[in-house]
Copies of this chain bind each other. A is one copy, B any other.
Amino acid sequence: MPFGPLSQRQVLIREVAPRDGLQIETRWIPTERKIELIDRLSATGVYGIQYTSFVPPKWVPQFQDADKVAAGIARDPAVKYIALVPNRRGFERALAAGVDEVTLPSAATETFAERNLNRSIAGCIETVREVVRAAPPGVVVSASVSMCFGCPYEGLVPVDRVVEICARIADAGAPVVTLGDTTGMGNPSLVRDVFRRVRARCPGTRLAAHFHNTRGSGLANALAALEEGVDIFDGSVGGLGGCPYAPGATGNIATEDLVNMFHGMGVGTGVDLEALVGCARLAEDIVGAPLPGQVMRAGPWPPAARPPRPAAIGV
């Protein structure tokens, strides 16, 4: 156990429902409801909230109100407000909107990068380099690598390639790199292998995990990542995202299910689980459909005091 007993571990939770969760929503979610969700999330104790995306409106019409959302939320100084920005222009908009952290997307496969990010992997990495140089002090520039555990276009993704791309992104200056399994193709053994090898290659880089529950193993993958020393985890309240209208077909892991498991294990998150469950119910109300989160129905277990999260482990 090179990272110490799990019961003494502390992790950071990043809530991504307002961005990753809403990204696939084709129906318009009113700006005030997005703000309501973000403000409720701000009171849960999560480390950060991925609260919007500064993409061109024609790419994702749902985020055409990114500036209004950023202006409308009640910021809590203890929470990091994180925006996805696809390019330099999005970064400038995010800066103007007062973002704490930006996440730059990239991918482990060229096909996904070309089809979903409209550029090559090299282009994504170049954008990371540019934005890192342009970022003012105090604004964290993190990078997110999709398809690290499998790709719907290319299938199996060689671990060597994932390691190489993460190393290039680390070289470009991103202090935090998130390894993503957007289509839920990972398994715990692969997750361990990938994180172990990326960590060995990029010892100075903070690694984060972004799992989906598409095939039911999202929390098992999170457990594997935790045991490999990962201490930043993404989740989406209620499991918002993916395809909420296909019964049982889930997207992101439900933040409250993840936190409930971690708390049961004695892993500190700083999150008020009951408040998080309230946010999951709000998310259901906002999208008007049942979400796949489990703890919001069964109730948290075990009942636990809210474990502290020391500020020292912040990014």
Contacts and interface: CB of A to CB of B under 8 A. Distances in A.
Interface of A: 6-7, 150, 155-156, 183-190, 213-220, 222-224, 246-250, 253-254, 257-258, 260-261, 264-266, 290-295, 297-298, 300-302
B297 A150 contact: no
Nearest to A150: B301
A261 B301 contact: no
Contacts of A150: 301-302
B216 A261 contact: yes
A6 B266 contact: no
Nearest to A248: B292
A223 B221 CA distance: 9
A137 B265 CA distance: 43
Contacts of A7: 189
The 3 closest A-B pairs by CB, nearest first: A187-B264, A216-B257, A247-B290
A302 B250 contact: no
B293 A217 contact: no
A213 B218 CA distance: 12
A186 B302 CA distance: 9
- Tallying the copies of this chain within the complex gives 2
A243 B184 CA distance: 25
A155 B304 CA distance: 12
Nearest to A222: B220
Given A214-B294, A220-B223, A248-B290, 13 more contacts: A6-B189, A184-B294, A185-B302, A186-B264, A187-B261, A187-B265, A189-B266, A215-B257, A215-B294, A215-B298, A216-B257, A217-B219, A220-B220
Contact of A216 (B186, B214, B295, B302): B295
A186 B195 CA distance: 26
6 contacts: A185-B302, A187-B261, A188-B261, A215-B301, A223-B223, A248-B291
Contacts of A6: 189
A295 B258 CA distance: 20
A261 B294 contact: no
Nearest to A226: B188
A260 B150 CA distance: 14
